[in-house]
C-alpha cells in the first residue's frame, strides 16, 4: 500500500514536470518568439562600433541595432539606433557613451526627445537644412550634438542598407 502511495506522488510530479517543459518549449509564455540577436561584421565600416540583426525563430529579420560613433561637442559620441525589419524605420535611438554637456547636449538622450524619432524613416536631416531626408528636430544650444545624432543615425542606416 505504501509503495502505491509513493508511486502516485512520483507519477504526479513527473506529469507536472513534463507539462511544464512542454509549455515552456512551445513558447506559450512568449519565449520562443523572441528570436535571437546575431552580431554583424563591422570590419571596414567607418564609424560603426558594433551592429546586430535580430531574427525570429524562423530566421526572418525582425530588426537591426547599430552603435555608430560620431563627433558631437566632444569626440566619440555613441549613437545607438534600432531599426524595424525594413532597415529604414527608426524603432529607437539612445545616446551611448558620450561626453556631451549635461543638461544641453545630453537632452538628445532624454526619453522625450528620443520618442520623437520613433517611426521616422531614415535617412534624416535637421529641420531647416537642405537635403532629402526626413526632417527631425534638434535641441537648441546643442547644435553639434544634434548634428552628431543625425550623422549617427545616417551612418547606422547606410550600414544596414549595405548589409541587408
CB 157 within 8 A of CB 88: yes
Query: Any idea what DSSP says for residue 139?
Result: -
For 32-91, what is each residue's pLDDT tens digit?
A: 455 799 999 999 999 999 999 999 999 999 999 999 998 776 666 788 999 999 999 999
In angstroms, the CA 38 to CA 57 distance is 12
**pTM of the full predicted structure?**
0.74
- Name the H helices within the chain: 2-26, 111-114, 143-163
How would residue 6 be classed by pLDDT, with cut points 50, 70 and 90?
A: low
pLDDT at position 138 over 60: yes
Amino acid at each position: 500500500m505504501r509503495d502505491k502511495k509513493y508511486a502516485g506522488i512520483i507519477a504526479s510530479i513527473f506529469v507536472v514536470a513534463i507539462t511544464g517543459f512542454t509549455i515552456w518549449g512551445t513558447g506559450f509564455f512568449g519565449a520562443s518568439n523572441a528570436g535571437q540577436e546575431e552580431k554583424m561584421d563591422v570590419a571596414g565600416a567607418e564609424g560603426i562600433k558594433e551592429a546586430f540583426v535580430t531574427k525570429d525563430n524562423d530566421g526572418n529579420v525582425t530588426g537591426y541595432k547599430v552603435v555608430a560613433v560620431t563627433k558631437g561637442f566632444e569626440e566619440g559620441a555613441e549613437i545607438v539606433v534600432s531599426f524595424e525589419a525594413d532597415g529604414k524605420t527608426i524603432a529607437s535611438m539612445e545616446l551611448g557613451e558620450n561626453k556631451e554637456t549635461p543638461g544641453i547636449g545630453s537632452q538628445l538622450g532624454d526619453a522625450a526627445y528620443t520618442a520623437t524619432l520613433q517611426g521616422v524613416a531614415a535617412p534624416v536631416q535637421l529641420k531647416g537644412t537642405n537635403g532629402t531626408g526626413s526632417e527631425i528636430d534638434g535641441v537648441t544650444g546643442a547644435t553639434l550634438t544634434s548634428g552628431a545624432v543625425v550623422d549617427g543615425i545616417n551612418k547606422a542606416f547606410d550600414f544596414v542598407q549595405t548589409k541587408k
